[in-house]
Amino acid sequence: MNDQILRVDWPVCTAHGLCAEMLPEVVSLDEWGYPIVHGPVKREDLEMARATVKACPTLALRLLKPPARP
Amino acid sequence: MTADTAMTVITNAPRRDVRNGARRDPVVSQGLALLAGISAGPGLAAHRGRLGPAPAPRVDELVQLARDVDLRGRGGAGFPAAIKLASAARRKAVVVVNASEGEPASRKDAALMLLAPHVVLDGAAAVAHALDTREVHVVVPSELPSIRVGIEKALRDRVGSGERIRWKLHDAAPRFVAGQAQAVLQLLAGKKNLPVTAWQPEAVSGHKGRPTLLSNAETFAHLGHLARVGADGYAAFGTPGEPGTTLVTLRGDGSDPEVREVAFGTPLTDVLTQAEMARPLLLGGYHGTWLKPAQLQGLGVSRRDIAAAGATLGAGVLLPLDEGGCPLVRTEALVDYLAGQSARRCGPCMNGLPAMAEAVRDLVHRAGPVARVEELCGLVVRRGACAHPDGTARLVTSMLRRFPEEVDAHALGDCSAGRSEVFA
Rounded to a whole number of angstroms, the distance from the CA of B178 to the nearest CA of chain A is 15
Does the beta-carbon distance from A32 to B195 stay under 8 Å? Answer: no
Question: b/e for B50-69, b at 16 or more Cβ within 10 A?
Answer: ebeebbebebeebbebbbbb
Strand pairing of B258-263 and B245-250? antiparallel
Span B399-409, mean pLDDT?
A: 95
Span B297-307, mean pLDDT?
A: 94
pLDDT band at A1 (very low <50, low <70, confident <90, very high): low
Does the beta-carbon distance from A12 to B352 stay under 8 Å? Answer: no
User: Which architecture characterizes domain B265-424 according to CATH?
Assistant: Up-down Bundle (1.20)
What is the per-residue pLDDT for B421? 63
Q: Which residue of B has its CA nearest to A9?
A: B197
A70 lies in a domain?
A: no
- Checking if the pLDDT of B8 tops 70, the result is no
Interface of A with B in 17-36 (CB under 8 A): 30-34, 36
- Checking if the pLDDT of B23 tops 70, the result is no
**Of A11, A34, A62, which has the smallest distance from its Cβ to B196's Cβ?**
A11
Rounded to a whole number of angstroms, the distance from the CA of A31 to the nearest CA of chain B is 9
Rounded to a whole number of angstroms, the distance from the CA of A14 to the nearest CA of chain B is 7
A45 lies in a domain?
A: yes
Three-state SS string across B293-310, please?
A: HHHHCCCECCHHHHHHCC
**Of B195, B345, B347, which has the smallest distance from its Cβ to A34's Cβ?**
B347
Strand pairing of B27-28 and B258-263? parallel
A41 lies in a domain?
A: yes
**Of A11, A32, A36, which has the smallest distance from its Cβ to B351's Cβ?**
A32
Q: Residues B123, B222: contact at Cβ < 8 Å?
A: yes
Q: Which residue of B has its CA nearest to A30?
A: B379
- Checking if the pLDDT of A37 tops 60, the result is yes
For the domain B29-234, what is the CATH superfamily, name and number? Answer: NADH-ubiquinone oxidoreductase 51kDa subunit (3.40.50.11540)
pLDDT band at A23 (very low <50, low <70, confident <90, very high): very high
pLDDT band at B420 (very low <50, low <70, confident <90, very high): low
Check which CATH number belongs to the domain holding A29 and give it.
3.30.70.20
CA angle B410, B283, B124 (to 5 degrees): 150
What is the per-residue pLDDT for B422? 64
- Checking if the pLDDT of A69 tops 60, the result is no
Span B130-136, mean pLDDT?
A: 97
Does the beta-carbon distance from A11 to B197 stay under 8 Å? Answer: yes
Interchain CB contact of A53 with B (< 8 Å): no
- Average pLDDT over chain B reads 91
Rounded to a whole number of angstroms, the distance from the CA of B197 to the nearest CA of chain A is 6
User: Each residue of B71-108: pLDDT tens digit?
Assistant: 999 998 899 999 999 999 999 999 999 999 988 899 99
B contact test, residue of A7, A8, A9, A10 with most B CBs within 10 A: A10
Question: What pTM, to 2 d.p., does this model score?
Answer: 0.92
Look up the domain containing A58 and give its range.
5-64
Rounded to a whole number of angstroms, the distance from the CA of A44 to the nearest CA of chain B is 25
User: Each residue of B43-69: pLDDT tens digit?
Assistant: 999 999 999 999 999 999 999 999 999
- Checking if the pLDDT of B412 tops 50, the result is yes
Task: Tell me the CA distances in angstroms from B46 to A43, B37, B111, B217, B223, one per residue in order.
Answer: 65, 9, 18, 21, 20
CA B82 to centroid of chain Cα atoms: 20
Rounded to a whole number of angstroms, the distance from the CA of B193 to the nearest CA of chain A is 13
User: Each residue of B168-206: pLDDT tens digit?
Assistant: 999 999 888 999 999 999 999 999 999 999 998 899 999
Helices (H), chain A: 18-22, 46-55
What's the number of domains chain A is made of?
Answer: 1
User: Each residue of B228-280: pLDDT tens digit?
Assistant: 999 999 999 999 999 999 999 999 998 889 999 999 999 999 999 999 999 99
- Checking if the pLDDT of A13 tops 80, the result is yes
Report the alpha-carbon distance of residue A18 to residue A55 in Å, rounded. Answer: 8
What count of other Cβ atoms lies within 10 Å of the Cβ of residue B1? Answer: 10
Contacts of B352 in chain A (CB under 8 A): 32
pLDDT > 70 fraction of chain B, expressed in percent and rounded = 93
- Checking if the pLDDT of A26 tops 50, the result is yes
Domain ranges of chain B: 29-234, 265-424
- Checking if the pLDDT of B311 tops 60, the result is yes
pLDDT band at B26 (very low <50, low <70, confident <90, very high): confident
Does the beta-carbon distance from B385 to A34 stay under 8 Å? Answer: no
List residues of chain B with CB under 8 Å from any CB of chain A: 194-197, 199, 343, 345-349, 351-352, 379, 383-385
- Checking if the pLDDT of B21 tops 70, the result is no
A69 lies in a domain?
A: no
Span B295-312, mean pLDDT?
A: 94
